[in-house]
A = this chain, B = another copy of it.
Amino acid sequence: MSQNSDKSIPDVQSYADHRHVAIDRVGIRGIRHPVAVVDKTGIKQHTVATFSMTVFLPEDRKGTHMSRFAQLLNEHDHDAHSVANFVELFREMNRRLDSTEGTIEMTFPYFINKTAPVSGKPGMMDYEVTLRADIRRGHEPDTHVRVAVPVTTLCPCSKEISQYGAHNQRSQVTIDARVCNNTTLFWEDLIRIAEQEASCELYSQLKRTDEKLVTERAYENPKFVEDLIRDIARRLDDVAGLCSYTLEVENFESIHNHSAYAVLTRSRDD
């Protein structure tokens, strides 16, 4: 049967609305789709993304057309998404939904094949990357890149006051960066900065020679949650193409059943 048969069925969403309440964003959330992404080196990686897609709804329209969001994903199955072209998918969404404002977001595990620091053994490390494009009325679209990077932190106080040892733990660094107009930004570069500034970075495969090195490196390089957030912030100030950012660090403390946490937001215009 053809889609045309829809025409004989009432289109409730298109009815007029008289409540005088415009809706900032309405659409779908939590839809998963297999995707390809392209990183800095131009290499395509297959992964699975979770999408959120929403548009502005003017006060006189009863509903949006929800099926068009899913349709967009299905018709863009062969795209390879990148920071540079994500805004195209976004513009296409707005066109289809007859919208001047909206937000599209995709979150996916991204893998880097890292080599262990001494043995050179390869191993896939996973990171969570989010791309987000957003437009407010009368503005150009914004693109955001968000990375969540697991690292090691080792406590400077614990090291300083103890005869031996120092508590350390897995931490998560989250960088949510707004890309300046007419530039691009690579999520790998943000990931790399978070790893370089941590007490030590993580690996999926470590031999004993590697384990010795990462243990000693962390001990030589103690960082409070406050130190790590400051050191990353200073590095981010020098990243080209980054207009503003929110940076978070959470340490899953090995001596407590709660986290130490820090957050800061900076804008180039500040």
Contacts and interface: CB of A to CB of B under 8 A. Distances in A.
A111 interface: yes
A75 to B, nearest CB: 9
Chain A contact residues: helix, strand, loop or mixed: mixed
A165 B166 contact: yes
B162 A212 contact: yes
Contacts of A214: 167, 255
Between A9, A34, A120, A256, the greatest number of chain B beta carbons within 10 A of the residue's beta carbon is seen for A256
Contact of A154 (B47, B77, B165, B205): B165
A244 to B, nearest CB: 13
Given A10-B160, A215-B162, A204 B257 contact: yes
A261 interface: yes
Given A12-B157, A156-B12, A209-B5, A219 B30 contact: no
Between A3, A218, A254, the greatest number of chain B beta carbons within 10 A of the residue's beta carbon is seen for A254
A225 to B, nearest CB: 7
Contacts of A233: 21
Contacts of A212: 9, 158, 161-162
B255 A206 contact: yes
A202 to B, nearest CB: 5
Contact of A126 (B3, B10, B32, B167): B32
Given A67-B205, A161-B10, A215 B23 contact: no
Nearest to A6: B208
Interface string A1-43: 1110110011111000101011111111111111000000000
Nearest to A125: B257
Contact of A26 (B54, B57, B226): B226
Nearest to A249: B26
A68 to B, nearest CB: 9
A230 B23 contact: yes
A71 B121 contact: yes
A229 interface: yes
8 contacts: A3-B119, A9-B212, A23-B229, A24-B264, A29-B259, A33-B111, A62-B224, A70-B258
Interface of A: 1-3, 5-6, 9-13, 17, 19, 21-34, 45-48, 52, 54, 57, 62-64, 66-67, 70-71, 73-74, 77, 109, 111, 118-126, 150, 152, 154-158, 160-170, 200, 202-209, 211-212, 214-216, 218-219, 224-227, 229-231, 233-234, 250, 252-265
